Structure 1
Amino acid sequence: MTQRLSKQRRWLAGQGSFARTVIVVATVVAATASAGIYCMVMANESEGTLIVHEWGTFTELQDDTGTPLGGINTDDEPVPEFVHRIHAKLLAPTHKVMPDFGFLSKAIPMNHQQVTMRMETPVLYFYPPAGMGSSLEADVNVSFRGGWISEFYPHAESDAPGLKKMNLSPERVGRLTWRGIQIGAAGTIPETTDPVWTTPRLENPARVVTPEGEAEDYLFYRGVGNFSGPLRVVTDRDANQVRIESRWDELGLPGVPEFTVMWLIEVASDQRLAYRQVTPGAHPAPQVLATVKRGFEETQFALDHKRRLYCEMHDQLCAAGLYPDEATAMLGTWDRAYFQSAGLRLFYLVPRLWTDDRLPLDVTPKQGSIRVATQRVMMGRIELVSDRQRALIEAMKQAPGEFDSQWLQEIPQSPARDKFLRGQSDFGDLGVAIPAYYQNYLDIGRFRNALLQNELQKDPTEALRQFASTHGITPALLVRQEPKPQEQGD
């Protein structure tokens, strides 16, 4: 029990007053659940069952009509360099905004307009049966319908149809196979201090080692896709409402989905947070799950709302099947993206039916007598266009004067420069005069280029065209491009 909580305490130690409240809740939750969890694990172990748990996030950006926007292959949570990538520049760091970055290579636009979905940081944990005299050998296969698995660790066999010509049509199926991994073997994991990588490391899951000798406490992968999620959020700015709709029937998916609790949250630029919990109910239109107030009053924002939201999400993740330390690891990994990055977003638990249809997973032990029990818990995240983002875009559309990128070249390469260009600090310490229009651009947030590309397509101004030309941002012209027959196998 002490080991299981140690990871929670290490992450919460850096959370200030938030930690003092949550550590009590996390400890109580873990303590009350631990007996049942370990009894369940031991029962499965005695029956010769390999338990596999997975968590991850599916992220999309929707406009006011609920239409997913392309060009979201930007990465504000980069993983360490030792992680394997199918293409070195498929994911564009958000701080790369130099004029020569408009196209990363002949065929890769900085914001690939066929990328409408981000599959972010799924990790797989393994709990083998007790009493195994040696490690358990298994093959793990993941298919990604409508997407490419762009990053993974440890080493695996990857297939990304269409990658050569950067054609990610909805019909593509990316695949990843870890063949002959040893579950519970001794191995040396890579050294890193990167929180996005170390936070998911837990005490209890078995270590996995590949035939090539790479090892980790989990299997990691993530990717990009060209498809829509199971929910649409339609914004009515005049009525200050959002309508949350299910797309299940139009997607032609089997079964009846269960959409449980959702959270509509807004994070201010100073990290104060406001949110409301949404419970789907009965509505006249069959596809409508809920209609709720969209905006928040200034008095509804507070720094300490984060702790309450964290606890609500933690409870729901555990109820969906994660162990308490797994839920803590998931929320800790995405702490900045979920709770600190300014913006308006909807979170929901993705129905298992949708995950299994979009992302089939197969774990096959080489010992035929071993059964496999999987638990997959995915968080859906829909980024919406906030009033603040809308105002910043309008300000850029009306910006006076000429745009000159020379000031960017005058900033010396340094950690402070990278931190600024990632939008994590202001320009006060850089020693150069930063134009106000460019600060507005950074303040739009992670998917700023996707939003500006969309604006260039539907309602451009001369000022916006000049800014885009100066900084290498191209209009959104490549959305859902269908492949020619001869390209299907590329």
Structure 2
Amino acid sequence: MTVALLILAVVVVVTVIKTSGWNSAKVVPAASGLIVHEWGTFTSIAGKDGVALEWRPLNGASDLPKFVYTIQNHDEGLRHGPKADLTAAVRMETPVLYFYSAGETDVSVKVDFPKGKITEWYPQARSVNTSIDWGRLKVMPGAAFNFPIAYSDNSRYYAARETDAAPVQVCGTNEKSVQQEKFLFYRGVGTFDLPLSVKLERQSVVLKNTSKDRTGQIILFENRRGKIGYQLIDDFPGEATYQRPTLDKTIDSLLQNLKRTLIASGLYEKEAAAMIKTWRDSWFEEGVRVFYILPRQTTDAVLPITIEPRPAELVRVLVGRAEVITPEMEKSVRAQVKLLSDPSPQVREAAAQAIREHGRFSEPILKSIFEHEGDEVIRKRIRQLIEPSTVVGAE
């Protein structure tokens, strides 16, 4: 009888393992207990010494739906309210928290950002500043979707919903309505020590690990006039110099490698796909940049998180993006700045538009030019351009 019971127990255990979804493909498990997964990205700009610059986005348009809460409350010139006036080394973008549970579960969630400030979020939170506290919310697997949609917005925000995560619902309090979403979303700006130093030296990129924690896979990427090149760095020795990549690759091959990296870091397949879909148009635009997975210890130090009850599994995958200002960028923008003094209005407007095409990176490029510019007319123009109340191209 004892042997028979033992055999029965083994069969039950094997059945649970096979149906729970715990396998190398990272399928969403059907196991009991709370599981929380987070992905996000943050952008920094590498200075000439390898240290991240403090910067503000000069004229990048908002990419969020209108229902998302934000500290900005008005447009002013080329800038978009208070967030754009916050100078910081890091712009933290779209961290989203997904929840999985076997049944409806009440949880409380708080994320601290001691060296930064939360600037956008959804659903509504109880308190927002250098932390965000959603208080108690319900994880509701199988619930009918009742998500907000702004049909007039062509926003990357919605791609993050394409997962098997359970809807979460924030209960209405203090005259606030009940709100539901597929995840908890937040953004912020801050200045903190990054684990990777990135420096351009002629046609080479110098990388150095500045943290005691090991940096995972690194991707050195370049898009030059639509031609793509990248290098996958799997066994980063801690400090090394790499040539700018040969422009003979495709985006599709890069996406396959990136997806494998995200899944290996702990994300489910649909989560990895949603992250890539969210950021594909921004990550691979014109320019040179370095992508890397933030060490988990660094993530927990920069963004301490408190979830009650404590989840059975908590995965946090933050992708760092270090933008590199190249000599080609500086040369091009400097030429356009010079044309802003042209007597022809058409020439001035075309020059202003060319500067705008650099989007939120316009200011750091202009500042980099300013540092070594000897032409006082161009220096004066740059000072005018980076003033908060100045519109590019205005006389």
Interval containing the TM-score (normalised by the shorter chain):
0.7 to 0.9
Aligned to 1:62: 46
CA 1:38–1:446: 2 relative to 1, 3 Å = closer
* Deviation (angstroms), 1:257: 1.6
CA 1:65–1:397: 2 relative to 1, 3 Å = farther
Aligned to 1:120: 93
Provide the C-alpha distance between the structure 1 equivalents of 2:339 and 2:301, rounded to a whole number of angstroms. Answer: 46
Aligned to 1:446: 360
2:150 pairs, out of 192, 201, 211, with: 192
* Deviation (angstroms), 1:290: 2.2
Aligned to 1:330: 275
CA contact (8 A) 2:35 2:100 kept: yes
* Deviation (angstroms), 1:474: 6.6
* Deviation (angstroms), 1:308: 0.6
CA contact (8 A) 2:296 2:317 kept: yes
Provide the C-alpha distance between the structure 2 equivalents of 1:403 and 1:121, rounded to a whole number of angstroms. Answer: 43
Task: Give yes or no for the alignment of 1:201 onto 2:191.
Answer: no
2:132 pairs, out of 160, 176, 179, with: 176
**Deviation by residue 1:255-281 (Cα, 9 ceiling, x = unmatched):** x52212111111123x33111112344
Aligned to 2:287: 343
Provide the C-alpha distance between the structure 1 equivalents of 2:125 and 2:257, rounded to a whole number of angstroms. Answer: 36
5+ residue gaps, structure 2, are: 1-20, 173-177, 390-395
Task: Give yes or no for the alignment of 1:359 onto 2:303.
Answer: yes
Aligned to 1:210: 170
Letter in 2 for 1:278: I
* Deviation (angstroms), 1:396: 4.0
Aligned to 2:240: 290
CA contact (8 A) 2:26 2:267 kept: no
1:309 pairs, out of 251, 254, 258, with: 254
Provide the C-alpha distance between the structure 2 equivalents of 1:39 and 1:84, rounded to a whole number of angstroms. Answer: 32
* Deviation (angstroms), 1:150: 0.4
Letter in 2 for 1:442: R
Aligned to 1:144: 113
CA 1:280–1:181: 2 relative to 1, 3 Å = same
Provide the C-alpha distance between the structure 2 equivalents of 1:118 and 1:38, rounded to a whole number of angstroms. Answer: 29
CA 1:180–1:281: 2 relative to 1, 3 Å = closer
Question: SS of the counterpart of 2:52?
Answer: coil
Provide the C-alpha distance between the structure 2 equivalents of 1:441 and 1:471, rounded to a whole number of angstroms. Answer: 10
1:87 pairs, out of 69, 72, 96, with: 72
Matched-pair identity in %: 28
CA 1:335–1:403: 2 relative to 1, 3 Å = farther
Aligned to 2:263: 318
* Deviation (angstroms), 1:207: 0.4
Letter in 2 for 1:208: V
1:265 pairs, out of 221, 224, 233, with: 221
Aligned to 2:29: 41
Letter in 2 for 1:386: T
Provide the C-alpha distance between the structure 1 equivalents of 2:52 and 2:163, rounded to a whole number of angstroms. Answer: 38
Aligned to 2:198: 233
* Deviation (angstroms), 1:403: 7.4
CA contact (8 A) 1:50 1:126 kept: yes
Letter in 2 for 1:372: A
**Deviation by residue 1:397-421 (Cα, 9 ceiling, x = unmatched):** 64473578xx6xxxxxxxxxxxxxx
What RMSD, in angstroms, separates the aligned Cα atoms of the two structures?
A: 2.9
Aligned to 1:157: 126
* Deviation (angstroms), 1:225: 0.6
TM-score (norm 2): 0.81
1:219 pairs, out of 184, 188, 195, with: 184
**Deviation by residue 1:417-465 (Cα, 9 ceiling, x = unmatched):** xxxxxxxxxxxxxxx6664432441344431123213433553633323
Provide the C-alpha distance between the structure 2 equivalents of 1:110 and 1:461, rounded to a whole number of angstroms. Answer: 28
Question: SS of the counterpart of 1:388?
Answer: helix
* Deviation (angstroms), 1:180: 1.3
Aligned to 2:234: 279
5+ residue gaps, structure 1, are: 1-32, 161-173, 249-255, 283-287, 408-431, 476-490
Aligned to 2:392: none
Provide the C-alpha distance between the structure 1 equivalents of 2:43 and 2:219, rounded to a whole number of angstroms. Answer: 14
* Deviation (angstroms), 1:138: 1.0
CA contact (8 A) 1:468 1:474 kept: no
* Deviation (angstroms), 1:246: 1.3
TM-score (norm 1): 0.67
Question: SS of the counterpart of 2:50?
Answer: coil
Provide the C-alpha distance between the structure 2 equivalents of 1:76 and 1:226, rounded to a whole number of angstroms. Answer: 22
* Deviation (angstroms), 1:69: 1.7
Aligned to 1:6: none
**Deviation by residue 1:4-61 (Cα, 9 ceiling, x = unmatched):** xxxxxxxxxxxxxxxxxxxxxxxxxxxxx8865678723x42xxx2000000002101
Provide the C-alpha distance between the structure 2 equivalents of 1:347 and 1:217, rounded to a whole number of angstroms. Answer: 26
Question: SS of the counterpart of 2:121?
Answer: strand
Letter in 2 for 1:78: D
**Deviation by residue 1:317-349 (Cα, 9 ceiling, x = unmatched):** 00000011100000000011112x211100011
Aligned to 1:463: 377
